[in-house]
Structures are given as structure tokens and as C-alpha cells.
Amino acid sequence: MAIDNTPMLVPHLVVDDAAAALDFYTKAFGAEEMVRMPGPGGKLIHACMQINGSLVFLNDDFPEFNDGKSSTPPALGGTSVTIHLQGPDVEGRFQRALDAGATVVNPLEDQFWGDRYGVV
């Protein structure tokens, strides 16, 4: 399936076991998988999913294509990026993520800025 070339900002995640991550994002956040492109050794060199109407790119770590350096958050000592999912039925969405195996970082609570917000 060709991807529309509409101008937008698309987060691109580098992870260990991208196939498992795609499956998790589908269960936890209702992601719709659009592209799954295997690369060397069966690892995913590119994948595209849509979550809540937004595209997210994803691939396995390929240090051999990055001057021998890993690009995953653990290899980089963490990440400064967070991704927010916004929409109706916050409790249902939060519970869906937990049911898929997500871990609560911050419980779902009403916040001073007016949103009901939690972190998994």
C-alpha cells in the first residue's frame, strides 16, 4: 500500500523486536499496521502503522547500517521523546494498554491542566 505524501511530522521508533512491538501497539493502542518490510535476517527494516489517525514508523535496530552503533533507547541511555494518545474513553484506552501488557508509570488521574492523564 502506498503511503500518502501529505506533509506531516512522523515519529520513527527504533526498537529491539519490531515485529513484537507492532503486535503490542495493535493490542494496546489500536494501531493499524500499514507496512511491514523485512530486511536482513528477517528483522524489520521498515514498518508503518497508524494510531489515532497519525502515522508512526518503526524498525528493528541495525547497527551495521549506523557505523556499528545501536540506536535503541537502552543503547542510547534513554530517550527524551514521549508520545501522547488523545481521544475519548480515556479509561477504556488506558485499560486496553494494561490488558495488552503495558505497565503503569503514572496512574490515570484528573490533572490540574484539565485533562484525565496517565502514563504507561
Q: Number of structural domains, the chain?
A: 2
CA distance 73 to 114: 31
Q: pLDDT of 30-65, one tens digit each?
A: 999 999 999 888 999 999 999 999 999 999 999 998
3-class state of residue 33 by DSSP? strand
110 Cβ neighbours under 8 A, 6+ residues apart? 116
* pLDDT-derived band at 3, boundaries 50, 70, 90: low
Containing domain of residue 52, as a range? 1-68
* Domain end position, chosen among 68, 93, 109: 68
Does 50 lie in the same domain as 1?
yes
Q: Which CATH number belongs to the domain containing residue 29 in this structure?
A: 3.30.720.120
CA distance 24 to 17: 11
Does 45 lie in the same domain as 104?
no
